[in-house]
Amino acid sequence: MEMTTDRLGRPLRDLRISVTDRCNFRCLYCMPKEIFGRDYRFLRRDQLLSFEEIERLARLFVEHGVEKIRLTGGEPLLRRDVEGLIARLALIPGLDLTLTTNGSLLPAKAKALRDAGLTRITVSLDSLDDTVFRAMNDVDFPVERVLAGIEAAAAAGLAPVKVNMVVRRGMNDESIVPMARFFRESGHILRFIEYMDVGSSNGWRLDDVVPADEVVALIDAELPLEAVEPNYPGEVATRWRYRDGGGEIGVIASVTRPFCGGCTRARLSAEGSLFTCLFAAHGHDLRGPLREGASDEEISAAIGGVWGRRADRYSEIRSAATASRPKVEMSYIGG
């Protein structure tokens, strides 16, 4: 296999595929209602890549070196028959397949996902405090039902479940230690994510970010921690474990310790646009060539060309000025 690298020598190893731009939540930091309200025009069904198109692209990406695919969105479990897509992708040899969800539909879907061939899953949960969580998802969705989703996933064999918490100062920072306590010894792996300036709609300010070091210090003061070696070089989460053996947590310091130098990730939007950075303003259309009858060689050359020209390192050059640049929304590109 030929190794495809970009202008900074970074290989292409991970692909995030957004399967829908729609969501049943309106998290304040991701899909605020002022923008994603009744009049918002989501993609039409015929604009979405079909499962055949996604599978074809996935196989071509694997030929370029992709080893891991994460399905995301929007809310991926809202895509009709997403398990049918998983069944197709699970057949690609040597591929690590996973999915990120808000958990709301997991009680109904976890078993079907597992049966289709999914082996791991990440569930987002920003607080255990029901008032805080209902306010953050802005659709009054209760904590209890996400917890039921996490349990359903574990019971179906999608363990260990990773639980992602985005921390925003003044909103859910008081939930950090209670979340750590709750998920300790549960067998699930809790990961804290710094709030990022994705998209142009969430009104991000650096003051809203709780640095990962602060998260670790807060937890360590009550539940002593020690550092753990990364699972593999370039792992985005920094790992910590409880000194008393109560399991581990991760912190993802995308703002305070950017990892652009080791970034091997591409993103495919639900309508087939390829993005080489979460903070890009524009993607490269792959659906057009797919639907115009391009051959595998032609599409593969387009993928290689886009990656080969890549020189993105947004998070390393982030500043107050770059935060207000136009950027694509995360629910569209796939978080």
Ligand X SMILES: C[S@@+](CC[C@H](N)C(=O)[O-])C[C@H]1O[C@@H](n2cnc3c(N)ncnc32)[C@H](O)[C@@H]1O
Residues that bind ligand X (CB under 6 A): 23, 29-30, 72-73, 75, 100-102, 124, 164, 166, 193, 195-196, 198, 202, 330-331, 335
Q: Please identify which residue in 15, 17, 23, 198 interacts with ligand SF4, judged by CB under 6 A.
A: 23
Distance of CA 141 to the CA centre of its chain: 20
H-helix or E-strand spanning residue 239: strand 238-242
- By beta-carbon proximity to ligand X, the closer residue of 69 and 290 is 69
Q: How far is the CB of 202 from ligand X (least distance, A)?
A: 6
Residues 88-117 that bind ligand SF4 (CB under 6 A): 102
183 makes contact, choosing from ligand SF4, ligand X, none, with CB < 5 to 8 Å by partner type, with none
CB-based contacts of 41, cutoff 8 Å, min separation 6:
none
25 touches ligand SF4 (CB under 6 A): yes
| Helix pair 82-89, 51-63: axis angle to 10 deg | 30
For strand 265-268 and strand 225-228, is the pairing parallel, antiparallel, or unpaired?
A: unpaired
Closest residue to ligand X using C-beta atoms: 335
Task: Tell me how far the alpha carbon of residue 186 is from its chain's centroid.
Answer: 22
31 binds ligand SF4 (CB under 6 A): yes
In the bound complex, what is the minimum distance in angstroms from residue 267's beta carbon to ligand SF4? 14
Q: Which stretch binds ligand SF4 (CB under 6 A): 25-33, 171-179, 189-197, 309-317?
A: 25-33
The answer to whether residues 30 and 330 touch, using CB atoms and an 8 Å cutoff, is yes
Q: Which does 31 bind (CB under 5 to 8 A by kind): ligand SF4, ligand X, none?
A: ligand SF4
What is the side-by-side order of every strand in the sheet holding 248-252? 225-228, 238-242, 248-252, 189-194, 162-167, 122-124, 96-101, 68-72, 14-18, 265-268, 273-275, 284-285
Q: Is 178 helix (H, G, I), strand (E, B) or coil?
A: helix
**Nearer residue to ligand X within complex by CB, 4 or 202:** 202
Q: List interacting residues with ligand SF4 (CB under 6 A).
A: 23, 25-27, 30-31, 73-75, 102, 124, 331
